[in-house]
Structure 1
Amino acid sequence: MPAWVMATSHSIELTQATTAPPAAVWDVITDLDAAPDVLSGVDRVERIEGPGYAVGTRWRETRTMMGKSASEEMVVTAVEPTSRTVVEADGGGVHYRSEFELVPDGSGTTIVFRFSGEQVGTPSVVQRLVWRAFGGLGLKLTSKVMRTDLADIAAAAEARTV
């Protein structure tokens, strides 16, 4: 099979500086119930399993993107309080992984966001071609959405420390 058909994963890494300390940023990131009020791109959050924020906590997050409402079920798979968390989701034959790392930076924090999407199962040649052709567009859209989320997180964390 030609190499140009084999691309099965895509990833991005973004950073956002904030004057808020890691604990304040952590409180914003892990407050799922407040997400629709904090993140301008989130319409609704519905808890599915688990109170608070811990490994195994599940929720359905609904966003409107390109004029269309879409929901994804997400699960927390790693928690290192005030420093790192990982959230994963599966949808449309793709496994998504989002990681937030909070790096102390003087009296503030650098938020490092890593995202990856990987095809799961055995995609057909057509699915691999579509992934190859449109995966980059999906990453650009994800990057734009996450830049907004990161700015919203930083602003909310800074507001909590005033």
Structure 2
Amino acid sequence: MSTVAVTRLVEAPVATVWRVFTDLPSRCERLSTVIAVELLTQGPFGAGTSWRETRTMADGTEITEEFRVDECVSPERFVVSSPGIGAEYRMTYTFVPVLEGRHRGGTMVTVVQDGTPTAPAGRFLALVFGGLAARTVEGALRRDLDDLAAAA
């Protein structure tokens, strides 16, 4: 299993940041690599919410992934899972208010992605490309956090 964590300060209150991060229909406008979002469930964001998201990768190819909210404690954290090709991913987002200092009133957002290979090929690739894959994932998570922070 590999784990990648990224933390970013967002200069907005937790309630605002939570709304931006959980507004699934607006992901196309807010995330620079997302080109389509298809909601698979109705109702407010919470445990059980599912959607498909299509992104443009660095090489120009498109990839569509399905996501499901497994846990949700508004406005503190949510956990999303995604069955990938040869691996399963779990992303935990946490939102912590900044209570002191010059960034008081802001929010520290952390996303932790855990990836578990589910097929022999996935295990082999994780072994061979582990460091490169982690850096690629970290860059993608950081870009998403930056995009969403700009929208908050």
Q: Among 46, 51, 70, which residue is 2:38 paired with?
A: 46
Structure 1 segment 64-79 matched on structure 2, within 5 A: 64-65=56-57, 66-79=59-72
Aligned equivalents of 1:155 and 1:147: distance in 2?
12
Aligned to 1:134: 129
Q: Among 113, 116, 128, which residue is 1:115 paired with?
A: 113
Q: Which runs of 5 or more structure 1 residues have no equivalent in the other structure?
A: 1-8, 158-162
CA contact (8 A) 2:66 2:82 kept: yes
Aligned to 1:55: 47
Cα distance change on mapping 1:64 and 1:103 into 2, 3 Å: same
SS in 2 for 1:56: coil
Aligned equivalents of 1:103 and 1:88: distance in 2?
21
| 1:13 is aligned to 2:5 | yes
Aligned equivalents of 2:15 and 2:55: distance in 1?
26
Q: CA deviation at 1:11?
A: 0.8
Aligned to 1:4: none
SS in 1 for 2:92: strand
Segments of 4+ moved more than 6 angstroms: none
- TM-score of the two chains, using structure 2 as the length reference: 0.90
Cα distance change on mapping 1:104 and 1:138 into 2, 3 Å: same
Q: CA deviation at 1:127?
A: 4.3
1:34-87 CA distance string (max 9 Å, x none): 001011111110011232311111100110112110010100011111110111
Cα distance change on mapping 1:129 and 1:45 into 2, 3 Å: same
CA contact (8 A) 1:50 1:56 kept: no
Aligned to 2:95: 102
Amino acid at match of 1:115: Q
Q: Among 132, 139, 144, which residue is 1:144 paired with?
A: 139
Cα distance change on mapping 1:127 and 1:44 into 2, 3 Å: closer
CA contact (8 A) 1:98 1:113 kept: yes
Aligned to 2:101: none
Q: How many pairs are equivalent?
A: 146
- TM-score of the two chains, using structure 1 as the length reference: 0.85
Q: Which runs of 5 or more structure 2 residues have no equivalent in the other structure?
A: 99-103
